[in-house]
Structures are given as C-alpha cells and as structure tokens.
C-alpha cells in the first residue's frame, strides 16, 4: 500500500540502501521538513515500509515552471524486482501533476538506476558526474503536464 509518510520514516531505508548503514542522523536531506516537500512509502504487512521516495520543490537552472526534485528513492533489498519503485513513482507523478501542478520532475540518478528512470520516461540532461562517497550520477528529467 502506498501512503504519505514523514521524513523521519524514510531514514531507516535511506541508511540501509543509500548510505551503507550510516547513522540515521546522517540520512536527513536539506529540505526534508519544508512545507512543499512530500514523502511516500510503500508499506507491507503491519506498516513495514519497504520502498520510499521524497520530492521537494526545487527548480533546475534554465528550466521554466514549477520543478520538483526526486530524492532518496530506495527499496529494501528483500523487496526489489517486484515493481514497488515504479508503483511508488507513478503515485508521486500523479500527485505532482494533479495536486501540485508541477511542470517537471528531476533527479540525480545513480548509474545503477538509469534504466529504471528511462523506462518511466525520464531523459538524461547531463553528462555523468561523481558525487563523493556515493558514486556516478546523471541528472534526469521528466516533463509533466505536457
């Protein structure tokens, strides 16, 4: 089941999947608590969150309209390959499009996730770059309300 969650509820999966077990205090993102930021989680069983994402209002330079940045998307390793990430992102896109009237969604995608985002309609808009301690990324973009 997909539901809105708090920033605090994202931290265990961020730590496990995105930050190699870093302390939860090191897994907060700037903007997590902003009024325009929302977090979604896919729950299994008794409210066990197995997939997460966060979207915060943040425009890209040289792009017009309302932009949102996708951050911290992660699926627990035991739950990968079941389409949960796609389902979660589709709900986020619907919310961005219909409730928030966003014009686009963008992210710094990890190399291992390029295919995932391409499959969902994102395009590359940068060359590959390195984020220290995390690895290679490219900026990816999805137009909304088009």
CB of 139 closer than 8 Å to CB of 98: no
- For 92-131, give one letter per residue: b (16+ CB within 10 A) or e: bbebbeeeeebbbbbbebbeebbebbeeeebeeeeeeeee
Give the C-alpha separation, 126 to 97, whole Å: 24
Answer yes or no: pTM beyond 0.95.
no
What percentage of residues in the chain have a pLDDT greater than 90?
A: 86
Grade residue 20 by pLDDT with cuts at 50, 70 and 90. confident
DSSP secondary structure letters along 56-88: EE-PPTT--S-EEEEEEEEE-GGGTTSSHHHHH
104-122 pLDDT per residue, tens? 999 999 999 999 999 999 9
């Amino acid at each position: 089941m997909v539901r809105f969650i708090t920033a605090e509820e994202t931290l265990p999966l961020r730590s496990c999947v995105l930050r190699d077990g870093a302390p939860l205090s090191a897994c907060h993102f700037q903007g997590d608590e902003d009024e325009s930021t929302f977090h979604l989680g896919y729950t299994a069983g008794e409210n066990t969150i197995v997939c997460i994402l966060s979207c915060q209002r943040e425009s890209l330079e040289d792009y017009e309209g309302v932009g949102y940045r996708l951050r911290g998307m992660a699926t627990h390793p035991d739950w990968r390959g079941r389409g949960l990430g796609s389902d979660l992102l589709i709900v986020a896109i619907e919310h961005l499009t219909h409730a928030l009237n966003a014009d686009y969604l963008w992210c710094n995608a990890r190399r291992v996730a390029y295919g995932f985002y391409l499959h969902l309609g994102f395009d590359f808009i940068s060359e590959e770059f390195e984020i220290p301690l995390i690895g290679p990324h490219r900026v990816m973009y999805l137009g909304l309300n088009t």
